[in-house]
Amino acid sequence: MLPRIDLHTHSTASDGTLSPPQLVRAAAEAGLDVVAITDHDTTAGWEPALQALPGGLRLVRGAELSCRWNGVEPSLPLHLLAYLFDPDAPELVAELALVRAARLQRGERIVALLRADGIDVSWPEILAGAGGGTVGRPHIAQALIRAGLVATTTEAFGPDWLGERYRLPKEDIDVFQAVRLIRAAGGVPVFAHPRATRRGRIVPDELIAELAAAGLAGLEADHEDHSPAERAHVRGLAADLGLLVTGSSDFHGTHKTVQLGAFTTAPEAYERIVAESSGVVEVASG
């Protein structure tokens, strides 16, 4: 049987709802052979996930980096998955700290906007809800749910709320700089959900070609935010550019409905990621 490989998941180190130990146990229970932990802009979940790794499961240490393409006006946010990079590479560590600080500033500003409109959400409570992990809009969504203003996270990301009316940009890492820093740290960069039109504006294929020339390794094709046509387009683009393709759940626990292993990556693509990396080793237990 082919190994089941899920290369994009979140824990409480960012906006997931399972702690890193719970995440790796759930991955084993879901029948995965390989799981990547890819919290937003942090490696804080790596060590606890490693300590709790169940027998037979391989852990790929990674992160999902908040990036920005500054080649258009207004600039466009996008996410890069970074795998098996050195978590102590100074420049990358510094950029991640800046993005996490920018997330705090943006979160507090969003809460101020909500409060100015008479919406009773509390920033200290939202911070407590994030439990020391990277703060994201899903934590604000939880506050809106607690206040009885929306019923679900999906609704909280609608145009009346965090999706548009109370949407504010944050400062992110320039995407070319991010590709360079990930590679310099021995990591392997993969563009997360590049055609997810339902999340907002997407980048043109020309940018992806430029990123490929700059060191991008792959594209995430199979993802719940891509339609079948979008998945096919991403596969075609990857073939044209010589990039690998991945599929992953982007599991967030109960902050989303998608389950671990809902989308998976082919063994050849996974092996290419491991082969191209030199920052940390992929770890197996048992």
Name the residue nearer to Fe ion (CB basis): 32 or 192.
192
What the block records as the tokens of 281 is: 């080793």
Question: Least Å distance between CB 176 and Fe ion?
Answer: 18
What the block records as the tokens of 102 is: 């920018």
| Residue among 240, 261, 241 nearest 250 (CA) | 261
Question: Least Å distance between CB 158 and ligand AMP?
Answer: 8
Residues 109-148: x where in contact with ligand AMP by CB under 6 A, - otherwise, as a string: ---------------------------xxx----------
**Near Zn ion in 69-88, by CB under 5 A:** none
Q: Which range of residues in 56-64, 109-117, 125-133, 149-157 is near Zn ion by CB under 5 A?
A: 56-64
Q: Count interface residues toward ligand AMP (CB under 6 A).
A: 11
| Residue among 240, 238, 241, 286 nearest 266 (CA) | 238
Element (H, E) at 207: helix 205-214
Question: Least Å distance between CB 66 and Zn ion?
Answer: 10
Cα–Cα dist 119/117, whole Å: 6
State which of residues 250, 260, 269, 273 lies at the interface with Zn ion (CB under 5 A): 250
Element (H, E) at 247: strand 244-247
**SS3 helix, strand, coil % of the chain, rounded to 5?**
40, 15, 45
* Binding status of residue 64 toward Zn ion by CB under 5 A: yes
Residues that bind ligand AMP (CB under 6 A): 15, 40, 136-138, 153-154, 157, 199, 252, 256
